[in-house]
Amino acid sequence: MTPPVFRLTADGWTEGAEKRPSAHFNERPEGTLVSLVVLHFISLPPGVFSGEDVDALFTGTLDCSRHPFYRDLEGVRVSSHYVIRRTGQVRQYVSVGDRAWHAGVSVFEGRSGCNDFSVGIELEGTGEVPFEAAQYASLAALLRELCRVLPIEAVTGHEFIAPGRKSDPGPCFDWDAVRRAVPAGVRVVTVPQTETAGV
Ligand SMILES: [Zn+2]
């Protein structure tokens, strides 16, 4: 398998990723450095892979009458910078220069509102089945490129910045794959964060 190659361009989009612009974003607060990567899983319906409903959710075109689970998604406006599909294919929805809406109420090392200063990467998956080798290969290449271009200090998971509320990327995710991928000096934080400081 040819290793995936990603190249961030000056506009915050990525060569090697399929560009799927979403309207679900806004500007980061002025002067904010992008210092964190937040990893997630998603599948729609849950446990069903390789459909187009995640794409539809992030681009605001999901038909919420299609599945009982989707009733709670009516009117929900969310996005992520990237989605890594089961095949390893990467799609990008929001420029990393802009603020995507993936983390919600969240805190990292005492700092709340993680969307302001993070890049969100969703892996197509669940908490019940292992992720694919092709997904880890794409994730590693993407993380290296993000760390090369942006002042990334740490990588963490949604479950750690929103403990009790979120459970992704969950028990099937191999954090050692992230530790091997990121450059020395970039921390991989896998302990639940609390609101005790800085809020
Ligand atoms: Zn999440």
Range of lowest pLDDT (57-61, 180-184, 192-196) = 192-196
Tell the CATH topology of 27-48+79-189: Lysozyme-like (3.40.80)
Q: Chain centroid to CA 76: how far?
A: 17
| pLDDT of 152 strictly over 60 | yes
Residue 122 falls in the annotated catalytic set: yes
pLDDT tens digit string along 79-138?
Answer: 999 999 999 999 999 999 999 999 999 999 999 999 999 999 999 999 999 999 999 999
pLDDT (0 to 100) of residue 27: 98
80 CA → ligand 1 middle, Å: 9
Please give the full DSSP string across 101-132, using - where no structure is assigned: S-S-S-EETTEE-GGGGEEEEEEE--SSSPPP
How sure is the predictor about 194, in pLDDT bands with cuts at 50, 70 and 90?
confident
How far apart are the CA of 9 and the centre of ligand 1, in A?
26
Mean pLDDT for the chain overall: 95
Residue 103 alpha carbon to ligand 1 centre in Å: 6
CA of residue 148 to ligand 1 center, whole Å: 24
Query: Please, which residues bridge with residue 84 across strands?
Result: 90, 123
Give the pLDDT of residue 3.
Answer: 77
What pLDDT does 198 receive? Answer: 44
- The catalytic position among 52, 122, 145, 153 is 122
Q: Alpha-carbon distance 103 to 49, whole Å?
A: 22
